[in-house]
């Protein structure tokens, strides 16, 4: 895979050495067992896959290069480039401004922009409406484009099935930048509706089967369906795509559920299913699949707790937390500083969107085992920082240096 020029502050020689060693041993990426770092009283099981993905490194390289190559120019990002506060703050400190927040609320009015301003499209991509807005302001919308190719792959898939008269069902978070962009691109070709979870998929199923009157559709899916969506005719042929970072098991369950409803409603057979249900397979990206599989592999090992590092608004990271929470006490932290001491941690409860403070999070026992992973937008340097911080609670910091040298 292509390598990118990412600022060295985000790298970790320790983590790079571990990743390279695993890669050499398992080139086909079939082994999802964690790397065991046994420090005696502390054992860390490090996920097989975690950290910066292709799309994030691509976006960071383009954004930092743009800043370096354009001194004196005003540089804007449409919104957060990726969902990691450290990377975003580094860009802000270099003079970059965000035009919108992550929910799409305007922070800098469009009227402030001049034709010679630089506007960078983030890794999530953007909507056709925003592209048009930039064009009207005399700014070439895709000149500085960091949209991840795996997001564009979803747009292409939606376009392909849309051109065959399938309605597109997007499994995604309606307010997430990527889902807003996918929705915009898809609805340019075909009727489109966003479902955020199984509950909404079941609601949609009720419209497909006719259990719910079509007249209610516009209210139930307000803001999540394309203008003029007609539930009587737009749910005859459907296909499911997803936001690239959703939980793989949930996306699969939703696609299977919709398929079953189509089969039952229209009396389909194996031979006729493709007439009404497009085979999209899943459109999750490789990083989401690898990172979630690595967490599943890691959870097969006995452990006391899990630590997941990443930005609190990061979708892919929250799904790693969700997987860990099913089995273990899990602490979602944005950086090493959240680990205050052996007996206290600041962490994030993404279900209730609130920061928490927990005491005695490390059990008192002969050997404490911690599962450790991070999201696709989290610099490896932060994961190394977490390892060092945990070691410091046992006065074992020096062992991290020995590991780095080994």
Q: What residues are labeled active site? A: 178
289-328 positions binding ligand SF4, by CB under 6 A: 316
244 binds ligand SF4 (CB under 6 A): yes
Per the structure block, which two tokens stand in for 218?
């516009």
What is the DSSP annotation of 340-389? EETTEEEEEETTTTEEEEEES-S--SS-EEEEEEE-TTS-HHHHHHHHHH
At closest approach, how far in Å is the CB of 287 from ligand SF4?
4
Rounded to whole angstroms, the Cα distance separating 241 from 313 reads: 22
What is the DSSP annotation of 82-149? SS-HHHHHHHHHTT-EESB-TT--BSS-GGG--TT-EEEE-TT---HHHHHHHHHTT--TTTEE---H
Sketch the per residue contact string, 164 through 193, with ligand SF4: x for CB under 6 A, - otherwise.
------------------------------
Q: Taking CB positions, which residue lies at the least distance from ligand SF4?
A: 55
63-82 positions binding ligand SF4, by CB under 6 A: none
Sketch the per residue contact string, 352 through 391, with ligand SF4: x for CB under 6 A, - otherwise.
------------------------x---------------
Q: Out of 55, 125, 141, 172, which residue is the one contacting ligand SF4 (CB under 6 A)?
A: 55
Rounded to whole angstroms, the Cα distance separating 193 from 371 reads: 37
Q: Out of 53, 231, 320, 333, which residue is the one contacting ligand SF4 (CB under 6 A)?
A: 53
Rounded to whole angstroms, the Cα distance separating 83 from 106 reads: 18
Rounded to whole angstroms, the Cα distance separating 75 from 280 reads: 38
For Cα atoms 21, 23, 24, give the angle at the middle one, nearest 5 degrees. 65
Q: Which is nearer to ligand SF4, 190 or 291 (CB)?
A: 291
Sketch the per residue contact string, 102 through 131, with ligand SF4: x for CB under 6 A, - otherwise.
---------------------x--------
Q: Which is nearer to ligand SF4, 59 or 191 (CB)?
A: 59
Q: Out of 37, 45, 47, 56, which residue is the one contacting ligand SF4 (CB under 6 A)?
A: 56
Q: Which is nearer to ligand SF4, 13 or 149 (CB)?
A: 149
Q: Out of 18, 100, 151, 170, which residue is the one contacting ligand SF4 (CB under 6 A)?
A: 151
Torsion of CA 262, 242, 256, 351, to 10 degrees: -120
285 binds ligand SF4 (CB under 6 A): yes
Q: Which is nearer to ligand SF4, 49 or 347 (CB)?
A: 49
Q: Out of 127, 224, 245, 251, which residue is the one contacting ligand SF4 (CB under 6 A)?
A: 245
Nearest to 183 by CA among 154, 140, 218, 217: 154
Q: Which is nearer to ligand SF4, 324 or 376 (CB)?
A: 376
Give me the residues paired with residue 121 across strands. Answer: 145
Are 179 and 154 in contact, with CB atoms under 8 Å apart? Answer: no
Rounded to whole angstroms, the Cα distance separating 242 from 155 reads: 10
Interface residues toward ligand SF4, by CB under 6 A: 53-56, 123, 148, 150-151, 244-245, 285, 287-288, 316, 376
């Amino acid at each position: 895979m292509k390598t990118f020029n990412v600022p060295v502050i985000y790298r970790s020689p320790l983590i790079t050495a571990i990743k390279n060693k695993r890669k050499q041993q398992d080139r086909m990426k079939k082994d999802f067992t964690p790397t065991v770092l046994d420090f005696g009283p502390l054992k860390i099981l490090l996920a097989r896959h975690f950290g910066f993905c292709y799309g994030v490194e691509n976006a960071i390289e383009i954004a930092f290069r743009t800043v370096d190559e354009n001194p004196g120019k005003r540089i804007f990002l449409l919104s957060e480039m990726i969902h990691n506060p450290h990377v975003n703050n580094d860009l802000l400190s270099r003079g970059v401004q965000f035009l919108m927040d992550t929910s799409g609320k305007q922070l800098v009015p469009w009227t402030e922009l001049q034709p010679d301003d630089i506007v960078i499209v983030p890794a999530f991509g953007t909507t056709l409406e925003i592209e048009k807005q930039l064009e009207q302001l005399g700014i070439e919308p895709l000149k500085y484009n960091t949209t991840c190719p795996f997001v564009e792959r979803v747009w292409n898939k939606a376009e392909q099935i849309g051109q065959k008269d399938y309605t597109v069902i997007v499994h995604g978070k309606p307010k997430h930048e990527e889902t807003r962009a996918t929705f915009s691109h898809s609805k340019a070709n075909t009727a489109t509706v966003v479902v955020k979870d199984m509950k909404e998929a079941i609601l949609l199923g009720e419209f497909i089967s006719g259990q719910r009157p079509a007249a209610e559709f516009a209210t139930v899916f307000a803001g999540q369906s394309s203008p003029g969506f007609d539930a009587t005719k737009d749910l005859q042929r459907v296909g499911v795509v997803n936001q690239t970072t959703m939980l793989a098991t949930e996306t699969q369950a939703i696609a299977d559920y919709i398929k079953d409803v189509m089969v039952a409603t229209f009396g389909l057979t194996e031979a006729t299913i493709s007439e009404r249900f497009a085979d999209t397979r899943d459109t999750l990206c490789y990083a989401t699949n690898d990172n979630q599989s690595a967490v599943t592999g890691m959870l097969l090992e006995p452990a006391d707790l899990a630590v997941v590092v990443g930005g609190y608004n990061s979708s892919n990271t929250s799904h790693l937390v969700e997987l860990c929470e099913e089995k273990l006490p899990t602490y979602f932290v944005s950086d090493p500083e959240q680990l205050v001491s052996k007996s206290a941690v600041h962490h994030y409860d993404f279900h209730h969107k609130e920061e928490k403070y927990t005491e005695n999070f490390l059990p008192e026992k002969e050997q404490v085992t911690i599962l450790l992973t991070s999201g696709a937008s989290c610099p490896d340097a932060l994961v190394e920082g977490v390892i060092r911080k945990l070691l410091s609670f046992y006065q074992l910091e020096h062992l991290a240096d020995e590991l780095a040298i080994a």
